[in-house]
Structure 1
Amino acid sequence: MESLYVHLTRIERLAPEDVNNKVRMARMLMMVGEIDNAELKANEILALDEESADGWLIKATIALQKGDPQGAMTEGMKSLMLEPENTDTLTVLAGAHRMMGDEARAFALLDEALEIDPSALAARMIRMELNRQNQQMEQVEADLRYMYNAQPDSEDFAIALAGLLRETERLQEAETLLDDFARSHPGSSRAVRGLVEVVDAQGDTQRADRLLQTFIDNAADSDVATLQFVLIERLMAHGQQTEAMQLLEQLMSAEQSMTRQRAKARRAELYFAEGDDESGLAQLTEVLQDDSQSEPALLVRSRYFIQEGRIDDAVRDLRVVLRNNPDSEMGLMLLGSAYMGSGSAQLADSNFRQVLRLNPGNIDAAVPVINRLLADGDLGRSEQILLNALRRSPNNESLLSLLAQVRLMRNDWTGTEAIISDMQALEGNRAVSEYLSGRIFQGQGQFALAMTRYEAALQQEPRFQRAIEGYAVSQLELEQSDLLLEWLEQRISADPEYIGNYAVKAGVLRQMDDFDAAISVINDALNAVPQWVQGYVQLAGLYQLQDQVDSALSAYARGIEQVDDLSLYALKASLLEQSGRIEEAIDNYEAAHQLAPTNLVVTNNLAALLTSHDPSEENVRRALELTRNFRNSDEPYFLDTHGWALFLFGEVQEAERLIRRAVEGLPDLAVVNYHYGRVLLAQNRVNDARAYLSKAAELAVDDPQLMTRVTDALGQLDSETVAN
Structure 2
Amino acid sequence: MSFSQANIIKLYFPILVLSALMATACDSPDELAENHLQKGKELLDKGEYDKAILELKTSAQSSDQRSETYYYMALLDEKSNNFKSMRENLKKTLELDPANIDARQKLGKVDLLFGDFDSALEHADFVLRANPGNEEAKLLRATVLIRQKKNEQASEIIDSVIAVNMKNTDALSLKAGLMFEENKLEQALELTERALQLDDKNIPLRLFRIKIHAKQNNSDAVVEDYKGLIELYPDVENFKLSLASIYSMKDQLQPAETLLREMIEKNKAKTEPKIILLEFLNAKAKDRVASEYQSMFDGWGENPSGRLELSKWMLASGYLDEAEKGLEKIVSVEKNNQTGLAAQAILAEIFIDKKQYDKADTAVSNILSENSDFVEANLLKARLFLINNKVDDAIELLNKVVWTKNDSDNAFMLLGQAYSTKKDPKQAEKNYKQALELNPANLQAFIPVYGKYLQANQKENARQLLEKALKAKPNQAMFLTYKAELDISEKRWDEAQETVQRIALFSKNKTIPVYFQANILQGKGQYADAVKLYEKILNEFPGHLNSLVNLIRSYDGLKQRDKSLAFVEGLHQKNKEDLTIVGVLSDLYMADKDYVKVKQLLENQIKLLPDKSVPLYLALAKVEAVLKKSADGAKQVYLAGLQANPDQPQLLLALGSLYEQLNDKNEARKVYEKIIEKTPDNILAVNNYAALLLESDQAEDLAKGLEMAQRFKDSENVSLQDTYAWGLVKNDKNPEGLALLESLIVKEPKMAELRYHLGVAHLKNGNKATALVELKQSIDLAEKQQRGFAGKDEAQRLIKELTGR
TM-score, normalisation: structure 2? 0.48
- Match of 2:579, as an amino acid? I
Helix, strand or coil at the partner of 2:713:
helix
Task: Name the structure 2 match of 1:699.
Answer: 778
Task: Name the structure 2 match of 1:641.
Answer: 723
- Aligned-partner Cα distance in 1 for 2:697–2:598: 43
| Alpha-carbon spacing, 1:619–1:423, altered in 2? closer, same or farther (3 Å) | same
Task: Name the structure 2 match of 1:409.
Answer: 489
- Aligned-partner Cα distance in 2 for 1:677–1:437: 51
Task: Name the structure 1 match of 2:601.
Answer: 521
- Aligned-partner Cα distance in 2 for 1:261–1:413: 49
Deviations 1:500-556 (A, max 9, x none): 332332232222221221232233333333415543443334445554423334444
> Of residues 610, 616, 620 in structure 1, which corresponds to 2:693?
610
Deviations 1:365-384 (A, max 9, x none): 76688778878877656645
Deviations 1:566-624 (A, max 9, x none): 4444444334323323233333334444555445454333322321x215333233323
- Match of 1:511, as an amino acid? A
Superposition pairs of residues 380-419 of structure 1, within 5 angstroms: 383-384=463-464, 386-419=466-499
> Of residues 590, 602, 611 in structure 2, which corresponds to 1:510?
590
Unpaired runs of 5+ residues, structure 2, are: 1-87, 89-112, 115-235, 239-268, 277-295, 367-377, 400-410, 783-787
- Aligned-partner Cα distance in 2 for 1:356–1:538: 44
Give the conservation status (yes or no) of the 8 Å contact 2:348–2:361: no
Structure 1 range deviating more: 365-374 or 402-411? 365-374
1:562 aligns with 2:562: no
Task: Report deviation, 1:419.
Answer: 2.0
Superposition pairs of residues 456-495 of structure 1, within 5 angstroms: 456-495=536-575
- Aligned-partner Cα distance in 2 for 1:283–1:457: 50
Task: Name the structure 2 match of 1:182.
Answer: none
Give the conservation status (yes or no) of the 8 Å contact 2:758–2:771: yes
- Match of 1:540, as an amino acid? A
Task: Report deviation, 1:401.
Answer: 3.4
Deviations 1:216-254 (A, max 9, x none): 9xxxxxxxxxxx9x9986674462323435778999999
> Of residues 708, 711, 715 in structure 2, which corresponds to 1:626?
708
Helix, strand or coil at the partner of 1:627:
helix
- Match of 1:444, as an amino acid? K
Deviations 1:53-91 (A, max 9, x none): xxxxxxxxxxxxxxxxxxxxxxxxxxxxxxxxxxxxxxx
- Aligned-partner Cα distance in 2 for 1:593–1:348: 31
| Alpha-carbon spacing, 1:498–1:378, altered in 2? closer, same or farther (3 Å) | farther
> Of residues 578, 583, 592 in structure 1, which corresponds to 2:661?
578
Give the conservation status (yes or no) of the 8 Å contact 2:538–2:547: yes
**Whose RCO is larger (CA < 8 A, sep 6+)?**
1
- Aligned-partner Cα distance in 1 for 2:530–2:487: 17
| Alpha-carbon spacing, 1:609–1:335, altered in 2? closer, same or farther (3 Å) | farther
Task: Name the structure 1 match of 2:522.
Answer: 442
Task: Name the structure 2 match of 1:540.
Answer: 621
Task: Report deviation, 1:295.
Answer: 8.3
- Aligned-partner Cα distance in 2 for 1:381–1:428: 28
- Aligned-partner Cα distance in 2 for 1:599–1:334: 26
| Alpha-carbon spacing, 1:334–1:594, altered in 2? closer, same or farther (3 Å) | farther
- Match of 2:591, as an amino acid? Q
Helix, strand or coil at the partner of 2:536:
helix
Deviations 1:612-669 (A, max 9, x none): x215333233323323333344544444322332343444554455445434544554
- Aligned-partner Cα distance in 2 for 1:563–1:389: 50
- Match of 1:529, as an amino acid? L
Helix, strand or coil at the partner of 2:645:
helix
- Aligned-partner Cα distance in 1 for 2:632–2:716: 37
Structure of higher CA gyration radius = 2
Helix, strand or coil at the partner of 2:791:
helix
> Of residues 628, 631, 648 in structure 2, which corresponds to 1:549?
631
Superposition pairs of residues 220-235 of structure 1, within 5 angstroms: none
- Aligned-partner Cα distance in 1 for 2:649–2:739: 32
1:241 aligns with 2:324: yes
- Aligned-partner Cα distance in 1 for 2:599–2:564: 18
- Aligned-partner Cα distance in 1 for 2:775–2:335: 60
Task: Report deviation, 1:423.
Answer: 1.9
Percent sequence identity over aligned pairs: 18
| Alpha-carbon spacing, 1:250–1:392, altered in 2? closer, same or farther (3 Å) | same
Superposition pairs of residues 107-146 of structure 1, within 5 angstroms: none
Give the conservation status (yes or no) of the 8 Å contact 2:542–2:581: no
| Alpha-carbon spacing, 1:575–1:348, altered in 2? closer, same or farther (3 Å) | farther
How many pairs align? 483
1:428 aligns with 2:484: no
Unpaired runs of 5+ residues, structure 1, are: 1-110, 112-134, 137-169, 173-197, 217-227, 288-293, 304-313, 340-346, 720-724
- Match of 1:423, as an amino acid? I
- Aligned-partner Cα distance in 2 for 1:542–1:574: 17
| Alpha-carbon spacing, 1:214–1:695, altered in 2? closer, same or farther (3 Å) | same
Task: Report deviation, 1:699.
Answer: 2.6
Superposition pairs of residues 262-301 of structure 1, within 5 angstroms: 266=349, 269-272=352-355, 299-300=383-384
Deviations 1:379-404 (A, max 9, x none): 65664554454445433434433432
RMSD between aligned alpha carbons?
A: 5.5
Superposition pairs of residues 212-227 of structure 1, within 5 angstroms: 213=304
Deviations 1:410-430 (A, max 9, x none): 333322221221122226322
Deviations 1:663-706 (A, max 9, x none): 45445545445545555665xx534x642453233333445863
- Match of 1:630, as an amino acid? F
Give the conservation status (yes or no) of the 8 Å contact 1:261–1:297: no
Task: Report deviation, 1:448.
Answer: 2.8
Give the conservation status (yes or no) of the 8 Å contact 2:693–2:702: yes
Give the conservation status (yes or no) of the 8 Å contact 1:631–1:639: yes
Task: Name the structure 1 match of 2:232.
Answer: none
Deviations 1:263-314 (A, max 9, x none): 9974752553xxx79x789989x99xxxxxx9856744765xxxxxxxxxx8
- Match of 1:505, as an amino acid? L
- Match of 2:791, as an amino acid? L
Task: Report deviation, 1:496.
Answer: 1.9
| Alpha-carbon spacing, 1:402–1:692, altered in 2? closer, same or farther (3 Å) | same
- Aligned-partner Cα distance in 2 for 1:404–1:487: 27
1:329 aligns with 2:420: no
Task: Name the structure 2 match of 1:88.
Answer: none
Give the conservation status (yes or no) of the 8 Å contact 1:212–1:231: no
- Match of 2:619, as an amino acid? Q
- Aligned-partner Cα distance in 2 for 1:376–1:558: 43
| Alpha-carbon spacing, 1:522–1:366, altered in 2? closer, same or farther (3 Å) | farther
> Of residues 567, 573, 577 in structure 2, which corresponds to 1:497?
577
Task: Report deviation, 1:497.
Answer: 1.6
- Aligned-partner Cα distance in 1 for 2:681–2:331: 35
